[in-house]
Amino acid sequence: MASYRTEDGWDALGDPTRRAIIACLAERPRAVGELAAVLPVSRPAVSQHLRVLKDAGLVTDRTAGTRRVYRLNPAGVAALRDQLDTYWSRALDGFRDVTERPDEEES
Partner DNA sequence: CCCGTTGGTAAGCCGTAGCTTACCGTTCGT
Partner DNA sequence: ACGAACGGTAAGCTACGGCTTACCAACGGG
Binding region for a second copy (CB under 8 A)? 8, 10-11, 13-16, 19, 22-23, 25-29, 54, 60-64, 71-74, 77-78, 80-81, 84-88, 90-95, 97-98, 101, 104-107
Q: Tell me the per-residue interface mask from 35 to 74 with DNA, x by CB under 7 A, - otherwise.
A: -x---xxxxxxxxxxxxx--------x---xxxxx-----
CB 60 within 8 A of CB 74: no
| Pick 40 or 106: Cβ nearer a second copy | 106
Strands 67-72 and 59-64: antiparallel
Opening angle at CA 94, ends 79 and 78, nearest 5: 10
Report the partner that residue 71 touches, choosing among a second copy, DNA, none (CB closer than 5 to 8 A by kind).
a second copy
